[in-house]
Chains A and B, each alone.
Chain A
Amino acid sequence: MRIVLAGKLPGAQIVGLARDGAQAVMMFKAHQPDAVTMDLTMPNMDGIRCIEEIMAINSDVPILVISALADKATAIAALRKGARGFLNKPFTEKQLVAALKEVISDE
C-alpha cells in the first residue's frame, strides 16, 4: 500500500508505518501527519479505539479506515468515531487512491 501511495500521490510522503494501534498513536503524536490510513484489526489497541485516541489529539486529521471487516455496523462505528472514509479490503490501486484523495479533499 505504501508503494501505491508513494507512486500515485505525487508529493505525498509516508512518515510512519505502525504495526499496532498503540504504536500508531505514538507515531501520530511524533509526526503529526496530514492524513492517516488505518486497519481496524490490530494488536494491542484496535482501530476503533485508535481512532478515538487520534481524534482526541487532533480532531481535524482525515483518517481513512482500510479494513476487511465488511459489515455495515463496523463501518458506521468507525465513521462515528471520526474516521473520514472506509475502504473495504480487498481493494484495487485505483480504489485506494480515489478513497484517499476523497478524504483529504474533505479537509
Chain B
Amino acid sequence: MNKKDISEVELRVFITAVTEYFQALAGEPAQVRSAYLGADLSVPQSYDYTGLITISGNYRGCVYFSCRQVLLRRLLVCMGENDHSESNLLDAVGEVANTISGNARKHFGAALEISVPVTIHGPTESIRAAVRARPFVITIDWLGQAAIVMIDLERLV
C-alpha cells in the first residue's frame, strides 16, 4: 500500500485548529512558537499531561497534545470549572486533543477517523509506541505556558 505524508497546507489545518481552540475558549489565541519536522525521536517530546488520539480510516497515525498542569488548570478556570481534580485535568487534556483532531476533519473529511482520547499523566511508553520517527511538531505558548502538538499522520493512498 502506498503511503504519503501530509503536506504543509494540511499541517496548517492543525495549526489553525490549535490557535482557534484557545481563542474560542478563552478569548486569547495560542501563539505558535514553531512548527517543524521532528528529529528522530526515540522518546517523543511531552510535558506532564498528554491527550493522545489515534487516527484510522484513509489515514494512519496519531495526534497528541501535551502540556503542564498549570496550563490545564487555567483552561479549567476559563471553562468555569473549579474542580481541578486529576480526573478533570485528564478530561481537559483529552478534550484539547479531541477538538484539534476533530476540527481537522473540516479539511480531511470523515475518512479521517479519530479515536476516543487516551489521556496520560507523566511519561509513558504508549506515546513512544504511537509516534513514528519523524512527526510534525507544533510548539505553542498560551498565557505564558508552553505546550506541544505532535502530528504523525500519513495518507493511505
Contacts and interface: CB of A to CB of B under 8 A. Distances in A.
19 contacts: A4-B80, A41-B98, A43-B116, A68-B100, A68-B101, A69-B114, A70-B105, A71-B106, A71-B108, A71-B109, A73-B109, A74-B105, A74-B110, A90-B21, A90-B24, A90-B25, A90-B99, A91-B24, A92-B24
Interface string B77-99: 00111000000000000010011
Contact of A3 (B79, B101, B102): B79
B20 interface: yes
B contact residues, range: 20 to 34
B56 interface: no
Nearest to B13: A70
B103 interface: yes
* B-side interface mostly: helix
Interface string B100-129: 111111101110001110000000000000
Given A4-B80, A71-B110, A41 B24 contact: no
A-B residue pairs, 7 tightest by C-beta: A68-B102, A90-B24, A70-B106, A71-B105, A68-B99, A3-B80, A69-B102
Instruction: Report which residue of A41, A67, A93 has the largest number of chain B beta carbons within 10 angstroms of its beta carbon.
Output: A41
Interface string A76-92: 00000000000011111
Contacts of A71: 105-106, 108-110
Contacts of A68: 98-103
Contacts of B106: 70-71
A7 B115 CA distance: 32
Nearest to B83: A3
